[in-house]
Amino acid sequence: MPHNIVETARQAWAFRTLLTAIDAAGLGETLAGEGPFTVFAPTDDAFAALPPETMQGLLEDPPALARVLTYHVLPGRITSAQITQDGEQKTVGGGVLKLAVNGAVTVNDATVIQADLEAENGVIHVIDRVLIPAA
């Protein structure tokens, strides 16, 4: 049986920073909850590409960190097979992500590098950069 999104991320290969951020923002219980959710999950390398002061500032400001993290989460389960055309999706944090299909699937300026990590309460798509919502 698949695990919830948090457990699935914990077992995957590159989400230590994301999991630390989820804990710091107090979102672990939500993302382990009923869902369903679609999570665009930045890798550790994606977080490492942020300026160090940006990441430190987010970790010191849980509400800002929560805004950034919820910008990566869509309500409902959206698999890669369902992303067939360009469009916009509203995030659980109230922002809007632009999805584009052009050989690969992109989300704003990030590329989906691995799709459809199934979890019992949703699906994770691995992306190569951190999405930062407009202020």
In a domain, residue 134? The reply is no
* Domain, as residue range, for 96: 5-127
The pTM of this model reads: 0.94
Chain segment 16-61, per-residue pLDDT in tens? 999 999 999 999 999 999 999 999 999 999 999 999 899 899 989 9
In a domain, residue 29? The reply is yes
Q: Provide the number of structural domains found in the chain.
A: 1
In a domain, residue 132? The reply is no
Q: Smallest Cα–Cα separation from 56: which of 68, 66, 69, 65? A: 65
In a domain, residue 135? The reply is no
In a domain, residue 133? The reply is no
CATH number at residue 44: 2.30.180.10
Query: Torsions phi, psi of 48, nearest 5?
Result: -65, -25
If DSSP codes are grouped into helix, strand and coil, which group holds residue 28?
Answer: helix
In a domain, residue 62? The reply is yes
Per-residue pLDDT band at 2 (split at 50, 70, 90): low
